Amino acid sequence: MKVSAFILSAVLLVFISAPALASGEGSDYRAEMTFTLRTAVAEGKLVYIGQGGEIDGKINPTLAVPENTLVQINMLNGDGALHDVVAEAFDARSDRVSGQGSSSVMIFRTGKAGEFFYWCSVPGHRAAGMQGRIVVGEPRAEAGAKSLDLTHSPMGLPPAIGGRDAGHVNVNLETTEKVGHLADGTRYKFWTFNDQIPGPFVRVRQGDRVTVKLHNDKTSTMIHSVDFHAVTGPGGGAEVTQVAPGKTESFTFRALKPGLYVYHCATPMVAHHITNGMYGLILVEPPGGLPEVDKEFYVMQGELYTAESHGQRGELSFSLEKMLDEQPEYYIFNGATDALTQTHRMEAKVGETVRIFFGVGGPNATSSFHVIGEIFDRVYHEGSLSSEPLKDVQTTTVAPGGATMVEFEVDYPGRYLLVDHALSRMERGLAGFLHVSGEPDHDIFEPHD
C-alpha cells in the first residue's frame, strides 16, 4: 500500500516536471484538482495565500476535494524564506525551497471523507500560522454528529463485596469492534470488552471461584481473548479463550490473592489489541472487604497510535509503525480525550473520602498518576491490598499492565485535575476533573484578593 503510493508519487513527480501534464496525455496520472498556494507574511503571521480559482486571495484557504481524487498542490515561494507544504494524512510533502519565486509541488490521492490539514514543516512555521484544512468529501457536520460513545463511566462500579463468604461468580464478556468517539469531531475503530473502554469493572472476593465466559461478537474481524492478571493458570486464561468471531470460550479460576489487577486481550499482536481498548480491572477484595469510603471511581489510562497526527478530525486509523516506535498521538482516560472532562462528571463533597481504582492498559506508557491540588492519603502501591499502604503521596508510578488504589479525603471545594504528571500527555488528551463542592475552609486554603 505504502510502497505503491510511493511509486505512484515518484511517477507523478517525473510526469509533472514535464509539460505533458497539462496536455491530457497519460491522463491516468494527471491531477484531477490543482491548487496553488503562495507563501507570504500577512497580519504579522506566516501564511499561505490562495492563488486562482475559488481560493484566490484567501489566507490559509480550506481546500475542498472529493473522495478518491488525485490532488496537486503547487507552492509558490512569495517571501523568500525556506518553506514547504506537507499533508501527513496523505503521506505527501513537497521539497523545501527558499528564494522568492521558487516553487515546489505535492501530490496525493484522497481517500475517505474527512477533515485533514496541510502545513509548512519548517520548524516553527506551522505554529507561526502556516496551516490550512483539506476537507475531503461532503463537508460533514463532524462537530454536531454525535458518534458512538464507548467510554466507561468512572462511576460504573459494582457494589462492594462486604462481609459475604467466598462463592461462585460468573463474568460475561463480549468482545466487539466499533467506531467510537475519541475527541471532538474525531473517531477511531476501537476494540472493546462489552462496548466499553475500559471493560467492565469485575469485583470478586478472595477465595471465589470465577467462571469467565468470553463471547466474540459475530461482526468481529479478529480473534480475541482475555488474560486476567488475577488468574493463576496458563496465560491468565488467554490460552483457552482465543475465540473466533461468533464463538464463545470459557474457563473457571479461583481468586487466590487479593489485589487490584489488570485484564486485557492477549491475542497477537497483543499490543495492538490493548491499544485499541481491550483492557479493564478486576478487584479481588480480601475477606471482610475493603474499608468503606464515600465515593469510588474507576479510571484507566491508555494510549493510541493513529496514523494521523493529533488533532486531526474524521475517522483515524491505526499506525503499526508508531506503535512499534512507541510514539502515541493520543493519551486517554476511559476511552476518549473528554470522557472525564465532559462526558462523565466525577463529584464529591468536602469531607468525603474518595477512592480511585486506577489502572494502566497502555500498552506501553507508564503513568505518573497525580491529582493536582490534592495529596493521596493512602496509596496501595502496585495494587497490593495485603501490604500496608503508603501515606501522604503526591504522585505514584503505575506500570502498563499495573494498577493502584488511592484514597484521599477532599478538604476544600474546587475542580481538581486528574493527570499523568508526564504533562505533555495532557496536550494529547489526558485529563479528568473531580468536582468538589462544599464550604471553603480558609484555615486550609485562603485566597488573598
- 402 touches Cu ion (CB under 5 A): no
> Is 92 one of the binding residues for Cu ion (CB under 5 A)?
no
Q: Is 224 a residue that touches Cu ion (CB under 5 A)?
A: yes
Q: Which of 285, 339, 247, 261 is nearest to 165 (CA)?
A: 285
Contact pattern from residue 269 through residue 288 relative to Cu ion, giving x for each residue in contact according to CB under 5 A and a dash for the rest? ----x----x----------
We find the least distance from the C-beta atom of residue 205 to Cu ion, in angstroms, to be 22
> CA 302 to CA 323: how far, in whole Å?
12
Residue 103: which of 87, 122, 79 has the closest Cα? 79
Q: Of the listed pieces 127-135, 144-152, 314-322, 396-404, which binds Cu ion according to CB under 5 A?
A: 396-404
Among 50, 363, 383, 401, which residue sits at the site for Cu ion (rule: CB under 5 A)?
401
**Which run of H or E residues covers position 385?**
none
Sequence-ordered alpha helix ranges (H) in 359-416: none
Q: How far is the CB of 80 from Cu ion (least distance, A)?
A: 53
CB of 224 to Cu ion, least distance (A): 3
Cell numbers placing 440: 471553603
The least distance separating Cu ion from the CB of residue 147, rounded to whole angstroms, comes to 21
Among the listed ranges 58-66, 83-91, 306-314, 399-407, the one in contact with Cu ion (CB under 5 A) is 399-407
Q: Rounded distance, CA 54 to CA 231, Å?
A: 63
Q: Does 267 bind Cu ion (CB under 5 A)?
A: yes
Residue 279 cell numbers, joined: 483492557
Question: From the centroid of its chain, how far is CA 117?
Answer: 19
265 binds Cu ion (CB under 5 A): yes
Q: Which is nearer to Cu ion, 61 or 402 (CB)?
A: 402
Q: Which is nearer to Cu ion, 208 or 227 (CB)?
A: 227
**By CB under 5 A, which span of 25-33, 143-151, 264-272, 295-303 interacts with Cu ion?**
264-272
- Look at the block and give the residue holding cell 511509486: 7
**Smallest separation (angstroms) from Cu ion to the CB of 302:** 14
**Closest-CA residue to 75 (of 107, 44, 43):** 107
Number of residues that bind Cu ion (CB under 5 A): 7
HEC readout, 314-325: EEECECHHHHHC
Give the DSSP H or E segment for 2.
helix 2-17
Q: Would you tell me which residues interact with Cu ion (CB under 5 A)?
A: 224, 227, 265, 267, 273, 278, 401
